[in-house]
Amino acid sequence: MKLKRHLKVMATLILMMILAACNNVNSTEGETSEKTDLDEKVTLVEDAIIKAESPDASPQLALNREDTVIVGLQEPGGIFTPYFNTSGYDGNVQSVMFPPLVEVNEAGESIPGLAESWDISEDELTYTYHLREGLLFDDGTPLTAEDVEFTLTLLHDPSYPGGTDITEAKVVGGLDYKNGEAEDISGIQIIDEKTIEITTEEVNARALRLLGGQILSKGYYGKGYEKGDLDYLSDLHLKPVGAGPFRFVAYLPGQEIRFEANEHFYDGKPEVAQFIYKTLEGDSQQFFQTGELDYSALAANQDNFEFLQEIGFADTNIYTSSAYGYMSFNHEKELFKDPKVRQAFILGLDRQTIIDAYYQGYAQVANIPVSPTSWAYTEDIGSTTYDPEQAKKLLEEAGWLAGSDGIREKEGEKLVVYYFTSAGGLGDVLIPIAKENYKELGIDLQVEQMDFNALLARVENGDHDLASFSTTMLTDPYNGVSNFHSKSQSATFKGYGSDKIDGLIDATIATNDIEERKLAFNNLYKALEEDPPVILMSYTKVLSGTNARVEGFEPNGYRGISSSLKNLKIVNPSES
């Protein structure tokens, strides 16, 4: 799950880089207009749904498609078995066919999916999922607790090659199966056909969703399964059998993935007979405009918003992503051992100006490591202010004193900082402003731009001082802070962490009670403000347009459009 989202963000970055490259022609013009933008006050755009002004303007091409809805998607890798894909776009394809036991709503809360309800025991170690009545896979075979058991067993298989780490949930007997001789996992108990009970060793608020994920059919994917050998599954990657609103029909590489309405779906057969993901390599605007796409997510900015307004037939939706952008410190460098220095780097960077200039109101400065869409968000902690005077004071206190050439020094060493970022995107605006800001503080900021993969490799090497990143979609606020744990294996945060922070992070998943968790997160966010692991940058908006002839798309920051696909409906635009 994490993997998919991560790659999705990464691919978006790449897409943005490509788009940015395409925009280079206008860059001289762009610079001047950006300058003027800086002087104006940019106001934050609110999340909104704006109905199309002239639905009749919908292109004939789209109107001719009476029972089919088409959505654009970047080319997937062709691995349509959940948990086995490496590309995030495969994840999008899977989510059409494979609803999870436990869904996420627009506030990041758990809601029923294939499971109609679940119980968590008093000691919060045992999870009992109750499946809906009469669930069927799209080939007509029943979906039962046995399939859930099979899926979880598969994820524990020693030869499982995918990116889902099920051992995090610490199912009793899970490791015995993965690393030992055990023939099954003792912590998984089938109570009856539609009830399954899973016992874990440790309280973990994330286990509910980790264990309640997408379900693979035992009769289909489990045919010929023997512990330790999953190679046979690769033949099934292009022939998925799920239990979602749509059933897989065909994959035409580089062109489209076709689905048809699934009459076995628990919520009833969708009204739309055919759903298609059309694969796109670059820009999607022109396809949306000519009516080839019914739904398109665009880079969130004023220009694209105006584009959607101008063409008239687009229902526009602006929502906030659950991810956040940040700039990480290299905590292994002596310089950043002192929290005061890190605080100075945060206070001394004019984040508001950078974000406003680049996103034109379609992003806000982040104050805590969780997005405002989440239940864990609060405005009361963290600050977004720009205070160069305070930053200078902190640097003085940390022993970095003004040098002869305006660059601060400590014990004969100059305050030179290397900042790595991917080419294009936010960096284009951030670099000149950050250089200026830090120069004022007496910091010499050196910048290197590179492609995303090279950036990761060099950060892993520890060559950087600062590096820009964005998180993936965060279905649980814990995912936004887990890397700050000293036991976290993430290369980006090597050297950060203390027992105090570790304890506070652990506390956020040590209970399933949402109010208690809120409190735990508040405590953690306060501590992180004192000892900042990163420079928090932004919460961005997502902008999407729907052809007014289609109703039912309800994208959200956690699941994108996938949870609303079942409600799609084609309406005659002149009547709506």
Partner 1 sequence: MKGYIFKRLLYLIPTLIGASILIFFLYSLVPGNFVDSDMNLTLERKAELYALYGFDQPVIKRYFIWIGNLLQGDLGYSLQFQRPVDEVLGNYIWSSFIVALASLILTWLIAILIGVVSAIRQYSVFDTFVTILVFAAMATPSFFLGLMIIKFFAVDLGWFPAGGIITTGSNYTGWAYYKDVAQHLVLPVLVLTMLGIGGLARYFRTNMLEVIKQDFVRTARAKGLKERVVVFKHALRNALLPAITLFGFELPALFSGAIITEQIFNWPGVGAVFMQAFTVRDYPLLMGFTMFIALLTVFSNLIADLLYGVADPRVRLR
Residues lying near partner 1 in the complex (CB under 8 A)? 2-3, 6-7, 10-11, 14, 18, 21-22, 25, 59, 65, 68, 70, 75, 77-79, 84, 86-87, 161, 163, 165, 234, 237, 252-256, 258, 274, 276, 278-283, 286-287, 289-290, 292, 451-454, 456-458, 460, 469, 472, 489-492
Smallest gap from Cβ 368 to partner 1, in A, equals: 20
Residues with Cβ < 8 Å from 103, sequence gap 6 or more? 110, 111, 112, 113, 559, 563
Residues with Cβ < 8 Å from 362, sequence gap 6 or more? 45, 300, 301, 302, 305, 318, 540, 541, 543
**Cβ distance to partner 1 smaller for residue 69 or 365:** 69
**Cβ distance to partner 1 smaller for residue 79 or 391:** 79
Smallest gap from Cβ 289 to partner 1, in A, equals: 6
**Cβ distance to partner 1 smaller for residue 115 or 537:** 537
Smallest gap from Cβ 170 to partner 1, in A, equals: 14
**Cβ distance to partner 1 smaller for residue 106 or 465:** 465
- Contact between 70 and 292 under an 8 Å Cβ cutoff? The reply is yes
Smallest gap from Cβ 42 to partner 1, in A, equals: 28
**Cβ distance to partner 1 smaller for residue 344 or 537:** 537
Q: Tell the residue number behind the tokens 């006050």, with chain if given.
A: 41
Smallest gap from Cβ 77 to partner 1, in A, equals: 5
Smallest gap from Cβ 67 to partner 1, in A, equals: 10
Helix (H) or strand (E) holding 208: helix 207-211
For residues 354 and 430, give the distance between their C-alpha atoms in angstroms, rounded to a whole number: 6
Residue 78 carries which side chain, given as an amino acid letter? G
Q: How many residues does the chain have?
A: 576
**Cβ distance to partner 1 smaller for residue 360 or 482:** 482
**Cβ distance to partner 1 smaller for residue 44 or 175:** 175
Q: Tell the residue number behind the tokens 């509910």, with chain if given.
A: 208
Smallest gap from Cβ 434 to partner 1, in A, equals: 23
- Contact between 185 and 174 under an 8 Å Cβ cutoff? The reply is yes
**Cβ distance to partner 1 smaller for residue 61 or 514:** 61
Smallest gap from Cβ 274 to partner 1, in A, equals: 6
Torsion of CA 336, 339, 343, 344, to 10 degrees: -60
Smallest gap from Cβ 39 to partner 1, in A, equals: 31
Establish how many alpha carbons lie within 13 A of residue 453's alpha carbon, considering only the half-sphere containing its beta carbon: 3
Residues with Cβ < 8 Å from 446, sequence gap 6 or more? 416, 417, 418, 419
For residues 6 and 90, give the distance between their C-alpha atoms in angstroms, rounded to a whole number: 12
Q: Tell the residue number behind the tokens 């498609």, with chain if given.
A: 65
**Rounded to the nearest 5°, which phi and psi values hold at 176?**
-60, -35
- Contact between 52 and 550 under an 8 Å Cβ cutoff? The reply is no
Q: Which residues of 434-459 are buried (b: 16+ CB within 10 A; e: fewer)?
A: bbebbeebbbbbebebeebeebbebb
Smallest gap from Cβ 74 to partner 1, in A, equals: 8
Cα(first)–Cα(last) distance of the chain, in Å? 37
**Cβ distance to partner 1 smaller for residue 353 or 482:** 482
For residues 167 and 484, give the distance between their C-alpha atoms in angstroms, rounded to a whole number: 20
For residues 297 and 240, give the distance between their C-alpha atoms in angstroms, rounded to a whole number: 26
**Cβ distance to partner 1 smaller for residue 19 or 519:** 19
**Cβ distance to partner 1 smaller for residue 29 or 379:** 29
Smallest gap from Cβ 38 to partner 1, in A, equals: 28
For residues 351 and 357, give the distance between their C-alpha atoms in angstroms, rounded to a whole number: 10
For 537-565, the three-class secondary structure string (H helix, E strand, C coil) is EEEEEEEEEEECCEECCCCECCCECHHHH
Smallest gap from Cβ 207 to partner 1, in A, equals: 17
For residues 464 and 483, give the distance between their C-alpha atoms in angstroms, rounded to a whole number: 18
**Cβ distance to partner 1 smaller for residue 93 or 391:** 93
Rounded to the nearest 10 degrees, what angle do helices 27-39 and 351-359 cross at? 130
**Cβ distance to partner 1 smaller for residue 7 or 347:** 7
Smallest gap from Cβ 14 to partner 1, in A, equals: 5
**Rounded to the nearest 5°, which phi and psi values hold at 94?**
-60, -40
Single out the residue of 148, 105, 156, 151 nearest to residue 129, CA to CA.
148
